[in-house]
Structure 1
Amino acid sequence: MEAVTEQKSLNLYQGVRGIAIKLLNRVDRTDAYLDKLLEIEIKNSELCGSEKALLFEIVHGVVRWLGRIDWILNGFFKGQFSKCIPNVKNALRVALYQILFIDKINDIDAINDAVEFVRKLQGQKSAELTGIILRNISRNKESIRYPNPEEDIIAYFSAYYSHPSWLVKRWINRFGKEETEKLLVSNNNKPTMTLCVNTIKTNDEELKSLLQKVDLKYNEGKFSKNFFKLTNLTNITAWEYYAKGFFTIQDESNILPVLLLNPKPNQKILNLCSPSECKTVNIANMMNNEGEIVLLDKFESRMKIQKRNLERLGVSNVRMVIADVDNFTEYDFDSVIIDAPSTGFGTLAKKPDLKWKQDLIDVRKISSIQYRLLEKGANYLKKNGTLVYTVNSFEPEETHEIIERFLTKNKNFKLIDASNLLEKELVDSHGFIQTMPHLHSVDGIFAAKIIKEN
């Protein structure tokens, strides 16, 4: 059977399910991040609002539950499912996600859509196979068997809670079975949307009033009055007050390193690496848009995006420098914040693809990059200047081991206990901020503050 090439059949990837399969094919064969692929597709598609929401749910859902979905398909597929033709493989995944997790979609409709899609792209034989597998699963979905937890808890957690086995084993060794299970459950929760008030433009009371006027339900932030967690996902960027810069969309955990930094008006602060504008605007808010924030990034394209966002938000105390950290020669900053690249394992509810893209080797590789950034950042401080190092992770190689290694090597720096600035429930026994998704209902984030004594 001849497979139709993707180039010739792009026009067949139509509708929510067709587009979902196209995106999943790309996730499988490239290093592209899921959110970026989705963002581009949704922006350029002609789908209506409800269709975009369904596309987001299906693609995120398949990637989130890939471990369980593939476990089931392996059990019903004759042969090696991993070697299945990509179009068929992802058509099966998309249909099975709907069968297992979307009650409002009838099993028959999900199966028929998958069969028809496969028929158009791969022919009748593959379509018949797709129908047989999915109908068999649908009839037996209440009696699907997973690995026996009494015999192999790692295999059970990996299949049932859809996480790579190496990561499950690692967490069980660190946290124990019960805590690991709670963490896995939390990682599989559908993400929520949280708004952060931009105090340069408005205040928490005004934003509350505006949300109530358009009947957007929310829960107030757990650690900051300037955060509002919406109870439903919505196309909030189409709201006029987003364009006016009244708020940013960010997890509440983002404010914690900034509160730890405790920036003041008229200070000079270096933001050494910032993947988005969130922490920058939070710092500007605490500085009353006074003083100077130097934003350093070697990627001009990322700077352009941040520049547009900061202009929308009315942030005027930022100076952007496009340069690599090795070529930056300004010194004597009051404070430095390093939002270092990380595994992102603290953000798996929002970015489920990260758990499938990395392994233990990646953890060790990225920790060397993180340590190098910390060493570089420390050089830019003036005497008695402070530095905050933060990552979206709770892996020891990326968090406390980095700081402890640095302090052992650099005796002129001292750790500042975070419990003096933030709630004690956020601070571990070493004086570091460490949140966990299942304990704090925010992303997992680590932050440490050190001071240069001489």
Structure 2
Amino acid sequence: MKTARQIAYDTLLRIEKENAYSNIAIDKMLQSSGLDKVQSAFATAIFYGVLETKIQLDYAISKYLKKKLTSLDIQIVTILRMGFYQLLYMDGVPDNAAVNESVKLVEYARKASAKGFANAVLRSFIRDEKAITLPNKDKDLVMYYSIQYACPKWLFQQWKDQYDLETAIELAKASLHRPPLTVRVNTLKTTTEKLIGFLENRGVKACKHEFLENCLVLEQTGSIDKLPQYRQGLFHVQDVASQICAEILNAKQGDTIIDMCSAPGSKAFTIAEHMNNEGKIYAFDLFEHKLKLISDGAKRLGITIMNTSLQDATIFNEDLLKADHVLCDVPCSGLGIVRRKPEIKYKNEQDFANLPEIQFAILSNAANYVKLGGTLVYSTCTTNKKENIEVINRFLKMNNSFKPLQLSEIFGKINGMDDFAVTLFPHKYNCDGFFIAALVKEKESV
């Protein structure tokens, strides 16, 4: 059986070689590992820790090399990153253990000739008291914070330019923290109080969210899908920001809803619960396997008003009836969920350049499905203004039948909801970075 470090190493290497999704990769690896809870948690901590702090780790490692880091085999780089991470951030791991286990990994990686090299680099770092000398702040402010918070320079610069230095720093800090586990109570089957009792009887710590009704923050859950309350459909996992988005849609019993890009379906599930499972929800996606996720989730939760359909969100379907509310949660760069998927920040800024055009096309098409007096909600899980307010402003400029809808009229529990659009920041609300805008159709287009 593989050790926890070997599991972490194998998964990190897969991320490097295959650009795999971090959460899927580590979950799949752990499921077949045979590790107990403690060792699984240890492997997970190393895996996400290295992935999150890779920029800082590479900077620190490079100080002990005579040549560029990129000239080393990726196997050795990965092992050094793991060793440095344990030395820097895992107080429960003795220095000698971090070094010795890293050397063992070199042999596991079939790079035995590099054992002495890895040992020397790690012990040199220990002799220097594991100190990292940051770049000169006065000479290169962005580089300084990039290394301090393991944030790509382009991303920190974007946050600084679009918001301000303080916000950029707070966003960079927040990106290194693990997000809370929040769930939505399925009010079709239970109540918040009953679910708390059920979960606590299973040893799960469950607390009500500070301002969001029917939302719980869970700790000590173990594998969430193994909880009987999950299998019974008493809740579904959903971030606070996503729940707020569903609330802002303000769906009522008997309404007709269209969810343009629905997968994995969590917003549609919450909307169905608001509607007391009465009305119609049309959930679209571009891929069959994602539609199955939605259907399976709805079945588990006991939701019967969901109609899933394979649809290209940029192409109008004239067979569909007009809806009371249309949710347009578009594909985006995901820069608001970096702490969930650290691999996102290692993409290039240009990888996201075409997204605003796709988002605008989806939003423009979504507008065709809104009935007179109906609402159109646009959302993303990114902090990038080019994908957010700039898309909305462009849409409003070209569509005089829609007007902004004040969020405070629908959901007034968050400071800053005094406009028709809001950006939720992780460091302020401990939720995903999220953008939400609400529009109302006041007249038919001319």
Q: TM-score range by the shorter chain?
A: over 0.9
Out of 72, 77, 84, the position equivalent to 1:89 is: 77
Are the counterparts in 2 of residues 343 and 358 from structure 1 also a CA contact under 8 Å?
no
Are the counterparts in 2 of residues 193 and 233 from structure 1 also a CA contact under 8 Å?
no
Provide the rounded CA distance (Å) in 2 between the counterparts of 1:49 and 1:87.
26
Are the counterparts in 1 of residues 280 and 305 from structure 2 also a CA contact under 8 Å?
yes
Counterpart of 1:432 in structure 2 is: 421
Provide the rounded CA distance (Å) in 1 between the counterparts of 2:135 and 2:166.
17
Instruction: Please list, as runs of the form range in 1=range in 2, the aligned pairs for 1:298-377 lying within 5 A after superposition.
Output: 298-325=286-313, 326=315, 328-329=317-318, 330-359=320-349, 361-377=350-366
Superposed CA deviations along residues 308-356 of structure 1, whole A, max 9, x for unmatched, are 2221111111011123232633131111101111111111221211111
Question: Which is further off, 38-47 or 317-326?
Answer: 38-47
Provide the rounded CA distance (Å) in 2 between the counterparts of 1:43 and 1:283.
32
Question: Which is further off, 324-333 or 244-253?
Answer: 324-333
Provide the rounded CA distance (Å) in 1 between the counterparts of 2:17 and 2:112.
25
Displacement of 1:240 in angstroms is 1.0
Are the counterparts in 1 of residues 258 and 323 from structure 2 also a CA contact under 8 Å?
yes
Provide the rounded CA distance (Å) in 1 between the counterparts of 2:418 and 2:195.
36
Secondary structure of the corresponding residue to residue 425 of structure 1: coil
Instruction: Please list, as runs of the form range in 1=range in 2, the aligned pairs for 1:113-192 lying within 5 A after superposition.
Output: 113-192=101-180
State the TM-score, normalized to the length of structure 1: 0.92
Are the counterparts in 2 of residues 363 and 397 from structure 1 also a CA contact under 8 Å?
no
| CA spacing shift, 1:427–1:276, aligned 2, 3 Å | farther
Provide the rounded CA distance (Å) in 1 between the counterparts of 2:304 and 2:412.
31
Displacement of 1:420 in angstroms is 1.2
Provide the rounded CA distance (Å) in 1 between the counterparts of 2:227 and 2:414.
35
Secondary structure of the corresponding residue to residue 67 of structure 2: coil
Are the counterparts in 1 of residues 88 and 130 from structure 2 also a CA contact under 8 Å?
no
Are the counterparts in 1 of residues 205 and 221 from structure 2 also a CA contact under 8 Å?
no
Matched, 1:422 2:411: yes
Matched, 1:226 2:214: yes
Matched, 1:390 2:379: yes
Question: Which is further off, 298-307 or 222-231?
Answer: 222-231
Are the counterparts in 2 of residues 192 and 232 from structure 1 also a CA contact under 8 Å?
no
Counterpart residue type for residue 125 of structure 1: S
Unaligned runs of 5+ in 2: none
Displacement of 1:141 in angstroms is 3.8
Identity, in percent, stands at 29
Displacement of 1:97 in angstroms is 1.4
Matched, 1:289 2:277: yes
Counterpart of 1:8 in structure 2 is: none
| CA spacing shift, 1:426–1:391, aligned 2, 3 Å | farther
Out of 231, 243, 250, the position equivalent to 1:243 is: 231
Unaligned runs of 5+ in 1: 1-10
Provide the rounded CA distance (Å) in 2 between the counterparts of 1:124 and 1:415.
64
Secondary structure of the corresponding residue to residue 384 of structure 1: strand
Superposed CA deviations along residues 81-127 of structure 1, whole A, max 9, x for unmatched, are 12211111111111221111111122211221111121243343211
Matched, 1:446 2:435: yes
Displacement of 1:233 in angstroms is 6.1
Counterpart residue type for residue 409 of structure 2: N
Out of 175, 180, 193, the position equivalent to 1:205 is: 193
Displacement of 1:232 in angstroms is 4.7
Counterpart of 2:44 in structure 1 is: 56
Matched, 1:67 2:59: no
Provide the rounded CA distance (Å) in 1 between the counterparts of 2:8 and 2:70.
19
Provide the rounded CA distance (Å) in 2 between the counterparts of 1:234 and 1:138.
35
Aligned residue pair count? 441
Out of 98, 104, 110, the position equivalent to 2:86 is: 98
| CA spacing shift, 1:44–1:426, aligned 2, 3 Å | farther
Displacement of 1:142 in angstroms is 4.1
Counterpart residue type for residue 392 of structure 2: I
Are the counterparts in 1 of residues 13 and 75 from structure 2 also a CA contact under 8 Å?
yes
Are the counterparts in 2 of residues 426 and 434 from structure 1 also a CA contact under 8 Å?
no
Displacement of 1:71 in angstroms is 0.7
Are the counterparts in 1 of residues 408 and 419 from structure 2 also a CA contact under 8 Å?
no
Displacement of 1:231 in angstroms is 4.2
Are the counterparts in 2 of residues 161 and 184 from structure 1 also a CA contact under 8 Å?
yes
Instruction: Please list, as runs of the form range in 1=range in 2, the aligned pairs for 1:253-292 lying within 5 A after superposition.
Output: 253-292=241-280
Question: Which is further off, 75-84 or 161-170?
Answer: 75-84
Are the counterparts in 1 of residues 316 and 365 from structure 2 also a CA contact under 8 Å?
no
Question: Which is further off, 271-280 or 154-163?
Answer: 271-280
Question: Which is further off, 271-280 or 121-130?
Answer: 121-130
Provide the rounded CA distance (Å) in 2 between the counterparts of 1:233 and 1:395.
33
Provide the rounded CA distance (Å) in 1 between the counterparts of 2:419 and 2:304.
37
Question: Which is further off, 409-418 or 117-126?
Answer: 117-126
| CA spacing shift, 1:449–1:118, aligned 2, 3 Å | same
| CA spacing shift, 1:41–1:393, aligned 2, 3 Å | same
State the superposition RMSD in angstroms. Answer: 1.8
Displacement of 1:292 in angstroms is 0.9
Provide the rounded CA distance (Å) in 2 between the counterparts of 1:42 and 1:434.
35
Displacement of 1:394 in angstroms is 2.0
Are the counterparts in 2 of residues 426 and 435 from structure 1 also a CA contact under 8 Å?
no
| CA spacing shift, 1:255–1:432, aligned 2, 3 Å | same
Superposed CA deviations along residues 189-240 of structure 1, whole A, max 9, x for unmatched, are 1222112211111111111222332343344213312112124563232211
Counterpart of 1:28 in structure 2 is: 16
Structure holding more helix per residue: 1
